[in-house]
Amino acid sequence: MLAGMGGVARHRLAAAVCQAGGFGVLGMVREPVERIRDEVLALRHLTDKPFAVNLIPAATDPALLHQQVHTCLNLQVPFVVLFWDVDSALIRHLVSEGIGVIHQVGSRWDAELAIDAGAEIIIAQGWEAGGHVRGQIGTLSLLAELVPFCPVPVVASGGIANGRSLVAALALGAQGASLGSAFLATQEANAHRHHQQRLLNAEAGDTVHCRHFTRNWHEPAPVRVLRSRVTRGEYDDLRHVRISEIIGEQDGQPVYLFSTDSPLADARGEVDDMALYAGQSCGQIQQLLSAKQRLNRIIEEAAETLTRLTSAP
């Protein structure tokens, strides 16, 4: 499953994942409805496979969220992925309209709320994951806690970018994996080449769990990013007095220091000072591949690992 990375997971990447046999997700967090409509139509032009649109209600202006949901309903989007606070009323509304709800959680509490409201798939996001991180529990520990009581499929997220880590998640009862960093480092991703190269060069210890990128988020939430001048505190004098300068632009819009915007393919300016999201799985990723190559390599390695484990004495 493709993680719904805002700006990065657009129709080219989502369609490529679908066509390779995975599950594509469009990262449409806080995007205008025109872009959601264009991206869904472009995706459907490339594939007839099922897919999802990722929204984050808590981080979206209520009026815009209402328009986003209305657009998804009009387009008959088959699934919506939700994240952060559990909006039970929204889940029930989507389910009543025939849309399948997938909810990413970081704790048992959030999982129970989402399931009670009607979510039919739970993504268990561990502390190792890149981007915004909801909980404080590692992926495998969270899986071990959620799987026994969840009446719906559980998908693992965080620390998974090769076949061996996928098998570890499956061994704990996960029925799939949601991959961010692994698909960010692909040819179809709408990510800046500098971001991709930094990720390819990184090891797990090169990521930082911090609260430095919060400017356009509704609360000072933690994120996992690659080390940079921002995470080393070189701009802390500005951060403490809440001065956020324009450091670049992308999608025709300015990018501010300390914002949650990661550098997209067309980004210009101080790209290394933007939010370079990366999970601790980055040490498992050394090459820029197509989405199909990435997915096939993971599946092949998982099959080899299962064969080795089942044939051992």
Domain boundaries, the chain: 11-188, 193-281
Cβ-contact 263, 191 below 8 angstroms: yes
50: tokens are 């099922």
**Tens of pLDDT along 21-37?**
999 999 999 999 999 99
For residue 280, give the DSSP letter: G
**Tens of pLDDT along 41-79?**
999 999 999 999 999 999 999 999 999 999 999 999 999
| Predicted local distance difference test score (pLDDT) of residue 240 | 85
267 vs 250: CA distance, rounded Å: 4
| Predicted local distance difference test score (pLDDT) of residue 312 | 66
User: CA quadruple 141, 142, 144, 145: dihedral positive or negative?
Assistant: positive
**Which residues of the chain carry a pLDDT beneath 70?**
312-313
232 vs 272: CA distance, rounded Å: 12
Cβ-contact 210, 197 below 8 angstroms: no
Phi and psi (nearest 5°) for 79?
-140, 150
277 vs 223: CA distance, rounded Å: 8
Helix (H, G, I), strand (E, B) or coil at 27: strand
Query: Domain 11-188 carries which CATH code?
Result: 3.20.20.70
Half-sphere exposure of 179 (CA within 13 A, CB side): 32
| Predicted local distance difference test score (pLDDT) of residue 241 | 81
113: tokens are 């709320």
14 vs 68: CA distance, rounded Å: 19
| Predicted local distance difference test score (pLDDT) of residue 243 | 80
Q: Indicate the length of the chain as a whole number.
A: 313
